[in-house]
Structure 1
Amino acid sequence: MDRTTLLALPAAACFGLAAMTVAPVAQAQTPVWQENFNGNSIDGNTWTYDVGTGCQIGICGWGNSELQYYTSRPENARVENGNLVIEARRENFEGSPFTSARLKTEGRVHFKYGTLEARIKTPEVGNGLWPAYWMLGAIGVWPDRGEIDIMEIGHVDGIAAGMANRRVGGAVHWNYGGGHASHADYTDFPSNLHDDYRIYRMTWDPQFIRVTVDGVQYFEMAISDIEGASLHEFHQPHYLLLNLAVGGTYTGVFDPNAISAPLPGKMLVDWIRLYQDHPDSELQVGGSNAVPAGRFGVYSEQSGLAGALDFGSDADLFVWNNLAPIAAAPFEGGEVMAFRASAGQWFGLGIVTDYRNMSAYAGGALKFHMRTTTQSTFKIGINTSFGDSWVDFTASGPNYGLVRDGNWHQVTIPFSAFYDLDLHAVKQMFMVVADPPAQDVELVIDNVYYQSP
């Protein structure tokens, strides 16, 4: 579902018709993780949402020229009669002609290898609906992170062949030689896929990724040649996504008036089950590794912390642009972030870590000490599963305790001041960025930590 222009394609990557074969049924096992949607609402400890059109993270139309606006409203995503319901609707919303939903387990459930089954009833896709059940790698940016499309229905070629509701496809995307490579297969099912619930099963091990629908295999990819085919992405944890798109490149429909699929359209997910028996399998469930409440040191050497990042081990400070180190005394401890930015160029830095479940800090605040004399505007940010979220610091606006007099001041930003912050899945715990300043800027920052309520 995350697509960009095809830059490079190795000879081994191809598109074609998968032979209709019946795959062996997985041996009975006990699931290591399952989602049955038996409650009254979507579980925020398992699922979160992508919201909007993708423009907020620089990929308008979610990289595929899709026509819908994804929301977290119950009109578009809810639990009903033991099913997750994802509903696409024709309605004007925030400038888009359709709404729908896209859910994901990012920062909550990640896994590597295993047999993944889901019982799903897809909508009648007609001309323009695009249901998808897929995965993204938890490390890196696309396509370096990898993508596994377990189920997609509604392809432009299926529409042209009169098989839109019978043709089901799978695909993988990865980085090959610095560009985007893809491999995709499909098959035409004997009957309409939307007539009933179907069991979509993916088996993933160090040798192959294979996918079936009701036992009929429609996708296979050999992934054992890790170095030769640059397939590292498929040997690291991924997380799940479920969505129902409207229009876009997969469907070949870009005009809202040309969407003839019955709307509202509903994708129903009865259950999802993960089985693992390979010795190299991994499963990471976010609720089990939440950081304890208290004070968490992002860049701090104070005592009494509930935990802290270990730079060089599980965290790194990246200077993105136009920041030169300067000599400065720390506020506490022996380390300090002290930089000069030259006039006329944007500047920025970020503290990058692996996923951190900071949900115990909801309702709390980001705290740090800072000294500067600049009157220029800059932003303080946090990156989570929702993307970047920023708080503006302007000379005349809220400065959350900062006084621009060259002395140390504690800054306290309530997490509620950040827009679209997912503390279950924090990836960059502290960022600073600014447009090109008119004059040189000096920033000195220390004692950065998260404070729970």
Structure 2
Amino acid sequence: MDRMIRIALPLVACVGLAALATPAAAQAQTPVWEENFEGTSIDGNTWTYDVGTGCQIGICGWGNSELQYYTSRPENARIENGNLVIEARRENFEGSPFTSARLKTEGRVHFKYGTLEARIKTPEAGNGVWPAYWLLGAVGVWPDRGEIDIMEIGNVDGIAAGMANRLVGGAVHWNYGGGHASHADYADFPSDLHDDYRTYRMTWDPQFIRVSVDGLQYFEMAISDIEGASLHEFHAPHVLLLNLAVGGSYTGIFDPNGITAPLPGRMLVDWIRLYQDHPDSELHIGGNNATPPGRFGIYSEQSGLAGALDFGSNADLFVWNNLSPIAGAPFEGNEAMAFRASAGQWFGLGILTDYRNMSAYAGGALKFHMRTTTPATFKIGINTSFGDSWVDFTANGPNYGLVRDGQWHEVTIPFSAFYDLDLHAVKQMFMVVADPPAQDVEFFIDNVYYQSP
């Protein structure tokens, strides 16, 4: 679903039902995770949203020239009669001609290997509506992170053949030799898929990824040749996504006037179940790994912390560009981030971790000590499932306690000052970046921590 244009190693096949294999029935077992949508609202401990057009993260149209604006409004995503409802609507919103929703379990539910089933009723695809049920690798940048498309309907070839609502596809995407590789299979189902609920099942183990609908297999990919085919992405945890797109490259329709599928269109998800029995399976439930409240040390040696990053073990400091270490006494402890940036080049750094559930810190603040004399504008950021979120420090604007006099000052940025911050899924807990300064810049940062309310 993410940047679906296939530009390398396309291995695409379209098969009819006569060629379909019937996989063995799933063993009767207890799901290790399930979602039955029994509440009155979407559970934020399980789901979060991608919002907007993708431009905010540098992939306008979500990499596929899609025409909708994704929202988190109940008009586009809600719980109704025991179903998750994702609704695409024709309406002008924030400059886009359509709205819809894209939900994901990023930072909340990640898994590797298993049998994943979902009971879904898709909308009438017609021309331009594109439902999808898929996975993305939990770590990395596409296509390095990998992608498994379990179900997609509304393909351009299906539209051209007059079977838009019968042609169902599965695909995988990965990085091969520094480029994008993909493999896709399609099947012509004997009746319109949107006529009723269908059970879409993926089985994923170290040898194969296979996908079926109502027991009929329509996709298979061998993944055991990890080194030869560069398939590392499919042996790492993935997150689940559900969305309903409008237009774009998969449908071959790029003009809003060309969308003739009935709108509003609704994708209904009754339940989702994950079974795991392979010894190398992995399952991460973010809600079971929430960081306790208090003070959490990002780059701090103070005592009394509720927890702290361990550099070299679960955290790394990455210098991105134009920063040279300099000597300087720390504010506390034995170390500080002390750097010089040369004039005329952007500079930046970030502290990278695994996923951290910092939801107990909502309503709290990012705190650190800093000393500098630069008048240059810089940004302090946090990266979460929503992408990068930044707070600007300008010479004449809010500086949250910083005084640029060369002395140590405590800086306190309330988390509410960051735009689109998902504290359930923090990936880079502290970042600094700046456009090219007019003069050399020296700065010192120490005692960085999160403070809960």
TM-score by length of 2: 0.99
Is the CA contact 2:293–2:360 (under 8 Å) kept in the aligned structure 1? yes
Contact 1:8 1:177 in 2 (8 A): no
Aligned to 1:148: 148
Distance, in Å, in 1 between the alignment partners of 2:43 and 2:8 is 39
What is aligned with 2:394? 394
Deviation string 1:358-398 (CA, Å, 9 cap, x unpaired) is 00000000000000001111000000000000000001110
Match of 2:435 in 1: 435
Equivalent AA in structure 1 for residue 132 of structure 2 = A
The aligned amino acid for 2:425 is A
Are positions 1:14 and 2:19 aligned together? no
Q: Cα offset for 1:20? A: 2.2
Structure 1 position 8, deviation (Å): 3.2
In the alignment, residue 308 of structure 2 is paired with which amino acid? A
- Which residues in structure 2 correspond to 1:223-234 (within 5 Å)? 223-234=223-234
Following TM superposition, where does structure 1 have runs of at least 4 consecutive aligned residues deviating by more than 3 angstroms?
Answer: 4-8
Q: What code does the residue aligned with 2:357 have?
A: N
Aligned to 1:164: 164
Q: Match of 1:40?
A: 40
Measured against aligned partners, the alpha-carbon deviations of 1:257-283 in whole angstroms (never above 9, x if no partner) come to: 100000000000000000010111111
Residue equivalent to 2:181: 181
Structure 1 window deviating more from structure 2 (434-443 vs 102-111): it is 434-443
Tell me by how many angstroms 1:83 deviates.
Answer: 0.1
CA distance, structure 2, for counterparts of residue 206 and residue 235 of structure 1: 7
- Aligned-residue offset at 1:184: 0.3
User: Does 2:422 match 1:422?
Assistant: yes
| 1:114-263 → structure 2 map (5 Å cutoff) | 114-263=114-263
Provide the C-alpha distance between the structure 2 equivalents of 1:407 and 1:401, rounded to a whole number of angstroms: 12
User: 2:272 — aligned with what?
Assistant: 272
State the 1:7 CA deviation: 4.7
User: 1:208-233 deviations in whole A, cap 9, x for unaligned?
Assistant: 00000000100000000011100000
Name the SS of the counterpart of 1:368 in structure 2: strand
Unaligned runs of 5+ in 1: none
8 Å Cα contact 1:6/1:179 also seen in 2: no
Gaps of 5+ in 2: none
Query: Which piece of structure 1 moves more, 15-24 or 74-83?
Result: 15-24
SS of 1:429's equivalent?
Answer: strand
SS at match of 1:22: coil
TM-superposition CA deviations, 1:108-135 (whole Å, max 9, x none): 0000000000000000000000000000
- Give the distance between the partners of 2:4 and 2:371, measured in 1 at CA: 42
Measured in 2, the distance between the counterparts of 1:143 and 1:100 equals: 24
Contact 2:85 2:269 in 1 (8 A): yes
Q: Distance in 2 between matches of 1:286 and 1:405?
A: 42
Please give the residue correspondences for 1:327-338 in structure 2 after superposition, counting only pairs within 5 Å. 327-338=327-338
Contact 2:5 2:249 in 1 (8 A): no
Contact 1:293–1:360 (Cα < 8 Å) also in 2 = yes
Q: Percent identity?
A: 87
Which string of whole-angstrom CA distances, capped at 9 and with x for unpartnered residues, describes residues 304-360 of structure 1? Answer: 111111111111101111111111110011111011111111111000010000000
Count residues in correspondence: 450
**Equivalent position SS for 1:157:** helix
Match in the other structure for 2:95:
95
For 1:439 and 1:93, the matched residues in 2 are separated by 43
Q: How does 1:310-321 map to 2 (within 5 A)?
A: 310-321=310-321
> Normalised by the size of structure 1, how large is the TM-score?
0.99
Letter in 2 for 1:189: F
> Counterpart in 1 of 2:292?
292
Distance, in Å, in 1 between the alignment partners of 2:209 and 2:4 is: 22
CA distance in 1, matches of 2:37, 2:354: 28
| 1:342 to 2:342 alignment | yes
SS in 1 for 2:370: strand
**Cα distance in structure 1, aligned partners of 2:247 and 2:74:** 22
